[in-house]
Structure 1
Amino acid sequence: MDTTKIHGGTLTFADKGHQYRWNQQKVEYTVSGICSDGFPSNFGMAAGWAAKMIRIELISHMRRLENNEPLRGDSIKPWAEYICQAHIRARDTAGEAGTTFHDYMERYAQGLEPELPEEQPARRSAEALRDWYDANVERAVSVERLVYHPDLNYAGKLDLYAELKSGGHFVFDYKGITTLGYPPRAAHVGQGAAYCTALALEGVPVDGFILMEVERKSAKLRVTQYSDIETEFEAFKAALKLVRYQPQGIKL
């Protein structure tokens, strides 16, 4: 369990259940939860990607079946179910790679000498993040830092708060994404703005947010800096309002 003293109280975080507590009381909303549920998502893009993963899996299986006995009877349904879960397996594999390079960068920013991930593409992703960090970061101020906004009652854990060689203190967030063919997701930017705003309430300098996106398959890196945190935070507050919203209808 992680614990920190801020705003005259105690904030704790437990991995089990991804739960934050402020002075022993459960924090109802987390930064990641608000950004996941309150920002719009491109359902068409997600559905298209899922269909592509299933199609690739289906073609691969059909080619292997060409020289074997055709599926019959009871074997057809479990085969079809396995094929239709191809996107879930791809998502979970990508998530594991993201966790791996994320853990590597956490230890690296702490001044340790962690071993690079053995498996690709996590290894290439970690190398891309590390090389940019070495070239641009003067020093890490804090890693995996807990933050809390007492007025809006949300909590979260930022990846990195660091000083750049070019000057300024920034909040960093690492993201593994499927493709760089689209602009950064509004939810990811809102997440950074929420961290920055909560951190600034502690009286520390925050000059902006840096989003570091790694394309999982190619390990290409896209780094985007956001300095107008006030504007980005307005979007986050709108997302929080949507998450809190409950329709007030009357049953007739």
Structure 2
Amino acid sequence: MNRAEPILRNRRGYTLRFDPQSHEYRLTSPQGEERTLPSVTRILSLLGKPRLQAWAMDLMAQHILNNYAPGMTHEELLYLTQEAAGLHRKEARSAANTGSEVHDWIEAFLGGIPRSLPQDPKAQRAVERFLEWWETTPRRFLLSEEIVAHPPLGYAGKVDLVLSDRTLVDFKTSKALYPEYALQLGGYALALEWWEGLRPQKGLLVRIGKDGSFETQEVDLPRAREAFLHLLEVWKYLETR
């Protein structure tokens, strides 16, 4: 599987093109008009993340406390604070890389492509938790890692999984399940209904932590759909100002 190759889908006269390298969605209408669509996750980026900000500040403070030494020169203190200020970005990139590795492994598994367990211990622990959940009961699915769009509303996204009972599943490798994740499922549910003619009956967040933790959370899809629509309106307002 070459993830660098663009993914194309045709539905109801529209063509949706996703570029995995740029993470860009391009939609061509039946009349040949082309436009770039924001992703569901990009729209969600409007929401503040106070927990993330607190984590970054804690990481910075702890690094300074661990590395400060009495008698440091001004230049040494400046270097230490600059190093601490950028630490959260380094940690976030590492976590994102591990999360991508886990998602890639799950995609290959669901696609029937044999793969050995990841060598990265964090990714391996997450994959093992996923397999335990998957093998609890025989699971069948309708869609996996499928790009979808909602042309009238003007956005697109990539759905992790839709089970055969129409449960919409989104996998997370984060340290917790945050409220905005429910809105993400709401956006996917609306797009699935328009693009695939498939209306999810349930929403489920599955967190497979890199530390071996695991939890699931059901999502009230009607409320999530409504909340996502409100956020989309804010997005459009800000983009057209």
Contact 1:197–1:229 (8 Å) recurs in 2: no
Counterpart residue type for residue 191 of structure 1: Q
Aligned position for 1:48: 54
Contact 1:19–1:26 (8 Å) recurs in 2: no
Moved over 3 A (4+): 70-76, 246-249
Aligned position for 2:63: 57
Of 25, 33, 52, 1:20 maps to 25
Aligned position for 1:141: 142
CA distance in 1, matches of 2:135, 2:172: 18
Count of equivalent residues: 231
Q: TM-score, normalised by structure 1?
A: 0.82
Contact 1:110–1:140 (8 Å) recurs in 2: no
Contact 2:59–2:84 (8 Å) recurs in 1: no
Alignment map for 1:127-138 (pairs within 5 Å): 127-138=128-139
Q: Deviations over 1:78-126 (max 9, x none)?
A: 2321122222222122112111111111111112221212122221111
Q: TM-score, normalised by structure 2?
A: 0.85
Higher relative contact order, chain-length normalized (CA < 8 Å, sep 6+): 1
Alignment map for 1:1-252 (pairs within 5 Å): 1-23=6-28, 25-37=34-46, 40-43=47-50, 45-62=51-68, 71-72=72-73, 74-163=75-164, 168-178=165-175, 180=176, 184-201=177-194, 202-204=196-198, 206-216=200-210, 218-226=211-219, 228-246=220-238
CA distance in 2, matches of 1:173, 1:248: 30
Q: Which runs of 5+ in 1 are unaligned?
A: none
RMSD: 2.4
Q: Which runs of 5+ in 2 are unaligned?
A: 1-5
Q: Quote the offset at 1:10 in angstroms.
A: 0.9
Tell me: CA distance 1:187–1:150, structure 2 relative to 1, closer, same or farther (3 Å).
same
Q: Deviations over 1:220-248 (max 9, x none)?
A: 1111223x422210000000011111499
Max radius of gyration: which structure? 1
